[in-house]
Structure 1
Amino acid sequence: MKKNILLIKSALYCLTAVMMLQSCTKKFEEFNTNPGTATSEMMEYDYLSTGVFFPQMQQNIFPVAQQPNFGDEMYQITQNLAGDVYSGYMGASNNWFGNANNTTYAMIPTWYNAAFGRSFLGVMPAWLSIKRKSEFANPHVYALAQILKAMSLHRTTDMYGPLPVTDFGNGGFTTRYDNQEVVYDSLFSALNYGIRTLTEYVSLYPGQRPMQKYDLVYGGDYVKWIKFANSLKLRLAMRIVDANPAKARQYAEEAVSHPVGVITDNADNAMLVSGAGGVNFNNPLYIICFNFDDIRMGANMESFLRGYNDPRADFMFNKAPDGQFHGIRNGISIANKAAYTAPFSTLNVAANTPVRWMSAAEIYFLRSEGAMRGWNMNGTAQQLYEQGITTSFAQWGASNAAAYINNSTNVPAPYTDVAAPGTGNNIAANSAALSTITIQWQEAATTAVKLERIHTQKWIAVYPDGQEAWSEFRRTAYPKIFPVVFNQSGGLIAPPAHIKRLPFPQTEYQSNSAGVATGVSVLGGPDNIATSLWWDRTP
């Protein structure tokens, strides 16, 4: 009997132990999870696992950053000392490296490396993380990432040409470059995916903004993102018009005829806004102009705005101490920085001014060019041209657009360097470098004159995005931009020609030498600043 009792007790102990073990096993994850660490389930809540990558992508397309000055310096070497000065929008007031720098075509490797890095170190890794997590699980999230990828890479390819796009993220020691036509095909594919997927999403879930807290541009409004994607598709379609006219027309007409359409109102302008999503930054141009004292109004902007008596000038720039607008010509020799700061016009920009990515005015001018070419752009070339001017005036808050549109006599003004008026920096009234284009539309004008008229006004409206203005100048040769004076290209750029591209980064030659060699092989010329890009067919 005692033996039986012991057996029963032993059995009960074993059963209790098994039950406790099962109970512990059921709660193993709970007992072994750090309460201060987010689980995968927690990261999926409210799209946190993918949403956190969107501010990273958006802050690197036009480089801005929350760290003091870092984003401003990065913006300076990726955008300001490239497109902003090459477009004629702005003039550098500093004389870095004894005037042997990018502004005078003596290219500084650490400067021309930077734009490549913003895409392939800042944007693309974030895009790849979103792709892996959401391409199949949440296609609408991936669609937004695809649009941002296209926005970033089109700016980068338009600086360098071939890029390592299709091999990106595949691993290996070498990343092969694609020729620029393949890069553009991938951008159109990304945009088409984004447009199609977001259009389906908003039809099923109207008014929903799942990415609202992560989006610094449109606050997660997918309808506005569709308009932006269509507008970007139109921009890129026009970029390739001389390289592939049929494809350009197809994509342009698809963008304009889409049910949601393109940007037509300033309320839908794409603006990177400080404070959105808890991300705060200064407008980099404010820091570069007022803290660094390194940039001022460009000589070409002075010439066009003063010659046209353009009311937008007061909204774009501040008058110099003498009450006039004065700009600095790009690529001059500056002996004393102080001489090129105080007498010249600063930019009319505040620390909290949003960074504009795209405007309705630009899209009207693109449609005007398309209509001039005979494409279906939902309006005539003249109607769309005049609407572009009107929309630009409204965007800046300027008045008297109608009088400006009907002005048939004003032409760009000659230029005098007020810091060195007796030098070769000036542009005389009879100079071949000075445009003579007027404002009023002339239907009987030649195609070349119409194109110059459209692109002169488009150039004014796109300010301050010098990167886009530089790309369109290379495509069309309009408007007329003053050539570099102190040309340090070593004979690569023969005056009055202009820079065509940036060289591939030295960092790529060091870390991806076989890959960058594939880029050089499909570039169409040597890896220097004189080789034209695939879509650039101008002399």
Structure 2
Amino acid sequence: MKKILFIFLVGLLANACTDGFEEANINPYEISSESLKQDNNDIGSYFPSLLSNIFGHQIEENLIAESFCDYMATPTPFVSGVNNTTYYITWNTYWNRIYNNLMSPSGQVIRKALDDDKEVFAAWAKLIRILGMSRLTTYHGPVIYTEYGQANAGYDSEADLYDAFFSDLDDIQAVFSANEDYPALKAFDASYDGSVAKWEMLVNSMRLKLAIRISEVAPELAKAEGEKAIADPAGLILSNTDNFEISLYGSDLYLAIICFQWNDTRMSAGMESFLVGLKDPRIDKYFQRVNNSSLVADHPDYPYKGIRNGAELVAKGDHTSYSLIAESFATVTERPYLAAAEVYFDLAEAALRGWDGAGDAAANYEAGVRASFEQWGAGGVDAYLADATSTPIDYNDVVYDNRGDGSINDFISRSTVTVAWDEAANNEVKLEKIITQKWIAGFTNPNEPWADFRRTGYPKLPHVYQNSSNGDWGVIPADDWIRRMPFVDGERQSNPEGVAAAVATMKGGDLISTRLWWDTGGSNF
């Protein structure tokens, strides 16, 4: 009897000790998985990284799109002066950034969000995918999108890819419009402070951007999608207060690092030609004046000096005294992805193409210029818009004047564009004005300007001085420009069948001379 009683008491004590054991042993200072779910941190914490990786850095952007669209140029003779900037492909890693740091983690986010019935987060992640992939395709052409994450995923042809973008934007917008009061994005949204309505505006503005991009190669689809964007009740980004800017999350702007810390980038000669020639007040918002007046003897009232892209370079120090970017870029906290000025210029082109609802081309053009001046804090917009005589200037690289060969790196401007709108001009002349101003306005965001340049031929930029292209990557004729980036070596080596199938959908081989789908090479109208 005593033995039975002892066993009973031990059991009773054991039960008393273990009741509430889980609660008693929870660390009150530790974040539990359940609390993460309640605060949406298990999903929302991914978004700053996803957004940050939409953009590239030096070898992914500055020495590719930013060089090819003539925003910046390097004073550094990398790889003995034969590299991307002279059309010999040396760096090609944007593909890896987008797939490793955006597509892969966003897939996890989408699956988890849908499993937890958080479809707004899933739609947000899908939109960020489009923001990144719509840039990547301007580098390579076909990319892996609709089948990404599947075994043996295939490349989407460019035509199929844009169909998928537009379809996905439909789905994303449907979710956003049904959840405009959704509060949970706020804690993770450094761009729009959780405003779903502003993300809807971005969806429409992205749809318009993509429609404009394919307007020559697929005019009926482009018109339908562009008109859908214009007519959507959520509206477009038409005010600088609604600009889509991506936070740097405490980091320095990539361009400030490359320019100020590494001394590897300076104003381009193309920017000097256009901004000085057009007497553009935005020039001192973009660049610093040079200290040596002999560098700007041909335009002393505008003491800014750029480097020709694909320049012949001997020593880095030869050109580091040329114009740096403005000091203000050292302290910026965010970077523009899509601003009101770009949307107005897209509307101006849409009006030229006769799209319903686009409004008046001249009014949109002038609104775009005004929005850009406001965005950059520049004055004098009225006089600028009225200037019908100033044109881009010729370029002289004075470094070589002092060495007895004044022709090296020099060029005669190919452009005679003026700022003032001319209603009597034909559509080609009007488009040149629109795209030239869109290019100027888009500074620090070179992806679409590079696409526009290939798509339209505007602005009329100079050719590279040193063209090192050859049979390794494709030959660029002396009177042409690089057209795309080749597929990355990792894909060429590990997925040759996929690359071959992708190339079969293109206008040529996996070469830098092959035009992308929307780069038709023909008339713009």
Instruction: Tell me the TM-score normalised to structure 2 length.
Output: 0.91
Report whether the alignment pairs 1:122 with 2:122: no
Contact 2:223 2:355 in 1 (8 A): yes
- Please say if residues 210 and 220 of structure 1, whose CA atoms lie closer than 8 Å, have aligned partners that are also in contact: yes
Pick aligned residue for 1:446 from 426, 435, 453: 426
Deviations 1:431-471 (A, max 9, x none): xx510111111122111111111111111111121122101
SS of 1:449 mapped into structure 2 = helix
Corresponding position of 1:163:
143
Partner residue in 1 for 2:85 = 103
* CA distance in structure 2 between the partners assigned to 1:529 and 1:19 by the alignment: 78
Aligned partner of 1:494 in structure 2 is: 477
SS of 1:342's partner is: coil
Q: Give the aligned partner of residue 161 of structure 2.
A: 183
> Among residues 389, 401, 423, which one is paired with 2:407 in the alignment?
423
Equivalent residue of 1:350, what SS? Answer: helix
Distance 1:398 1:223 in 2: 29
> Are 2:304 and 2:322, in contact at CA under 8 Å, matched by a contact in 1?
no
In the other structure, the counterpart of 1:72 is none
1:292-351 superposed Cα distances (whole Å, 9 cap, x missing partner): 101111111111111111111111111111261111110011001101111344445422
Residue identity opposite 1:247 in structure 2: L
**Which stretch shifts more, 193-202 or 279-288?**
193-202
For the 8 Å contact 2:127–2:172, the answer to whether it is kept is: yes
Match of 1:218 in 2: 192
Distance 2:5 2:231 in 1: 79
Alignment of 1:239-250 (within 5 A): 239-250=213-224
Quote the offset at 1:480 in angstroms.
0.6
Quote how far apart the aligned CAs of 1:273 are.
2.6
Task: Give the structure 1 partner of residue 245 of structure 2.
Answer: 271
Give, in whole Å, the separation in 1 of the partners of 2:88 and 2:279: 35
* SS of aligned partner of 1:419: helix
2:296 equivalent in structure 1: none
The verdict on how the C-alpha distance between 1:10 and 1:58 changes in structure 2, with shifts beyond 3 A counting, is same
- Say yes or no: does 1:80 pair with 2:62: yes
CA distance in 1, matches of 2:499, 2:259: 35
Give the 5 Å matches for 1:47-446: 47-63=40-56, 75-108=57-90, 111-112=91-92, 114-135=93-114, 137-170=117-150, 172=151, 174-202=152-180, 205=181, 208-274=182-248, 279-321=249-291, 322=293, 324-353=303-332, 354-421=334-401, 422-428=406-412, 434-446=414-426
| Alpha-carbon distance in 2 for matches of 1:352, 1:200 | 38
1:530 and 2:513 are equivalent in the alignment: yes
Letter in 1 for 2:178: E
Specify the SS of the correspondent of 1:228: helix
State the 1:191 CA deviation: 2.0
Q: 1:517: Cα distance to partner? A: 3.0
Question: How many angstroms apart in 2 are the aligned matches of 1:141 and 1:116?
Answer: 24
Q: What code does the residue aligned with 1:416 have? A: N
Which of 494, 513, 518 is residue 511 of structure 1 equivalent to? 494
Note if contact 2:36-2:42 (Cα within 8 Å) is conserved in structure 1: yes
In structure 1, distance between residues paired with 2:217 and 2:17: 69
Distance in 2 (alpha carbons) for counterparts of 1:83 and 1:210: 35
Cα pair distance change 1:415/1:30, threshold 3 Å: same
The alpha carbon displacement at 1:533 in A equals 0.9
What letter matches 1:128 in structure 2? Answer: G
Deviation, structure 1 residue 30:
4.7
Q: Deviations over 1:345-371 (max 9, x none)?
A: 444542221211111001000000001
| Higher deviation after alignment, 328-337 or 133-142 | 133-142
1:328–1:98 Cα change, 3 Å: same
AA aligned to 2:122 is Y
SS at match of 1:201: coil
Distance 1:178 1:293 in 2: 39
Do structure 1's residue 41 and structure 2's residue 34 form an aligned pair? yes
What is the alpha-carbon distance in structure 1 between the residues aligned to residue 16 and residue 498 of structure 2?
Answer: 56
Distance in 1 (alpha carbons) for counterparts of 2:16 and 2:477: 82
CA distance in 2, matches of 1:62, 1:259: 29
Cα offset, 1:12, TM superposition: 9.6
**Equivalent pair of 2:60/2:94 in contact (CA under 8 Å):** yes
Separation in 2, partners of 1:329, 1:115: 24
- Which amino acid is 1:129 matched to? Q
Distance 2:220 2:277 in 1: 38
Report sequence identity in percent: 36
TM-score (norm 1): 0.88
Cα distance change, pair 61–88 in 1 and its aligned pair in 2 (3 A): same
Aligned alpha-carbon RMSD (Å): 2.3
Q: Distance in 1 between matches of 2:478 and 2:496?
A: 32
Secondary structure at 1:329 match in 2: coil
State whether residues 306 and 322 of structure 2, in contact with CA within 8 Å, keep that contact through their aligned partners in structure 1.
no
Cα deviation 1:113-143 (Å, max 9, x = unaligned): x100111000011210111111351111111
Letter in 1 for 2:82: A
Count of aligned positions = 504
Alpha-carbon distance in 2 for matches of 1:415, 1:356: 29
Relative to 1, partners in 2 of residues 1:209 and 1:298: Cα closer, same or farther, differing over 3 Å? Answer: farther
Note the alpha carbon deviations across 1:449-496, whole angstroms, 9 max, x for none: 111111111111111211221011111110111111110101610011
Q: 1:258 to 1:242 in 2, by over 3 A?
A: same
Partner-residue secondary structure (3-state), 2:250 = coil
CA shift, 1:524, in A, is 3.1
Distance of 2:76 and 2:326 partners within structure 1: 16
Distance (whole Å) between structure 2 residues aligned to residue 347 and residue 526 of structure 1: 41
Shift of 1:10: 3.9
Q: In the alignment, which residue of structure 1 is the partner of 2:297?
A: none
Q: Is the 8 Å Cα contact of residues 61 and 151 (structure 1) preserved in structure 2? A: yes
